[in-house]
Amino acid sequence: GEDVEQSLFLSVREGDSSVINCTYTDSSSTYLYWYKQEPGAGLQLLTYIFSNMDMKQDQRLTVLLNKKDKHLSLRIADTQTGDSAIYFCAESIDSNYQLIWGAGTKLIIKP
């Protein structure tokens, strides 16, 4: 069945790079997404990648997709305190019209 897995926590020092990892099982994914959720807020779309791409860069964010290993990562360069949040990985499968979500990774920034 469909499943998306993420580590629950990641702790990094301010100014370092953060790398959040995600694995998925369904090879028929169309798009893969990264969302950010701050306390008490909804989900903010950070970036997404089409399944036939292997990399996408957007300012401080770099997404890497290894389709063979079904592995997705989000790298945040120069991590700031404002990056503290929960980061969700999600995949969409066109025929199902839904997103399958990971449990979310809480990013903790150490001063």
Examine residue 1 and tell whether it contacts other proteins (CB under 8 A). Answer: no
* 33 versus 76: smaller Cβ distance to other proteins: 33
Strands (E), the chain: 4-6, 9-13, 18-24, 31-37, 44-50, 55-58, 61-66, 71-76, 85-93, 98-101, 105-110
Label residue 95 left, alpha or beta by phi (over 0 means left) and psi (-120 to 50 means alpha): alpha
Residues 69-108 that bind other proteins (CB under 8 A): 88, 90, 92, 94, 96-104
Pick from 10, 22, 24, 35 the residue near other proteins by CB under 8 A.
Answer: 35
* 59 versus 111: smaller Cβ distance to other proteins: 59
Q: Which among 13-21, 38-46, 52-60, 63-71 is the span making contact with other proteins, rule CB under 8 A?
A: 38-46
Residues 48-67 that bind other proteins (CB under 8 A): 48
- Are 11 and 70 in contact, with CB atoms under 8 Å apart? no
- Nearest C-alpha neighbor of 105 from the set 36, 24, 31: 36
- Chain residues binding other proteins by CB under 8 A are 30-31, 33, 35, 41-45, 48, 88, 90, 92, 94, 96-104
